[in-house]
Amino acid sequence: MTLPELVALLCLNLAALVVVMLFLWGLALRLRDVSFIDGVWPLGMLFLALITAVRTDGDATRKFLLLWLCAVWAVRLGWHLLRRWHEKGIDGRYAEIVETQEREHGWSFAKTALLFVFLPQAVLGWLTSLPVQMGQVEHAPAMGWIGWIGAVIVVVGIGFESIGDAQLSAFRKDPRNKGKVLDTGLWRYTRHPNYFGDACVWWGLWLIAAETGWVGIASVVGPIFLTFTLTRWSGIGITEKAIARTKPKYADYVRRTSAFVPMPCGSAWKRDPVSGVIGVE
């Protein structure tokens, strides 16, 4: 595939996802709630993988792995997050965004939902999922050992975040744990096993794509962006700020537990307040 053809493919994919997000924006206006976007976001990335698959003729094995590994990840995570939204209702994070824009700028719910939620999510989902788009383009070479290592990493990542989510769900269902901090199972070694598993999935998918040469290698923008988002932007920081408000003992958990990469208890990865670099304490 030539560079102009690749650019056209990616632009059409982005346009298609924007159309989907506009439809979901209309649904959000009827519900007066945007919180379901977390659940449909991974499904949007699967949508991009699917529409790419029908328009490319890359290596069959590689396409199969990229598509189906993405599908397993997206369906599991999407179902988990949509079920959580159905049970809990409006997410306080999104409610705060809407209220802040209305109070400070006089924006309507519709404008905030479109410009702060649905259109950005289309661009960010498209960017993160570049490996499953660009990895399906080239027919040669055939799947090699790097790709298979990537597939193993994806499976490990899906398993890691699935177990972490299951442990957290079970913990929250026990009324005796109200106000307590989950620090057992995978949560003993990392404060965010779900985020770490997510990163593993997309770095693994990138390895599968990277075997195709410069096109696949260039898709590294996706996992880099996702890792940055989880560790430095809207992931760990926002989540932990909300938890700290309701759980006084969370500060002690932070001091002794790695933020992202699983580490032995007491070897916490923390962000340097000056440089912003995350490292081992």
pLDDT tens-digit map of 78-123: 999 999 999 888 887 888 888 888 888 889 999 999 999 999 999 9
pLDDT at 196 over 90: yes
- Please state the domain count of the chain: 1
Q: pTM (2 decimals)? A: 0.88
pLDDT at 121: 94
Range of the domain at 136: 3-280
Tokens for 46, please give them. Answer: 């699967």
Tokens for 92, please give them. Answer: 């306080």
Closest CA to 198 of 80, 48, 64: 80
The residues, any chain, with a CB within 8 Å of residue 102's CB and separated by 6 or more, are: 108, 109, 112
pLDDT at 212: 93
d(CA 67, CA 80): 20
123 or 251, higher pLDDT: 123
Judged by average pLDDT, the poorest of 62-66, 214-218, 251-255 is: 251-255
Q: What is the DSSP letter of 21?
A: H
Output the average pLDDT for the chain. Answer: 89
pLDDT at 234 over 90: no
Cβ atoms within 10 A of the Cβ of 115, count? 12
pLDDT at 266: 54
Report yes or no: 128 and 199 within 8 Å, Cβ to Cβ: no
Band (273; pLDDT cuts 50, 70, 90):
very low
pLDDT at 250: 84
Per-residue pLDDT of 221-232, as tens digits, reads 999 999 999 988
Band (276; pLDDT cuts 50, 70, 90):
very low
Tokens for 256, please give them. Answer: 């002794």
Per-residue pLDDT of 171-187, as tens digits, reads 989 989 888 889 899 99
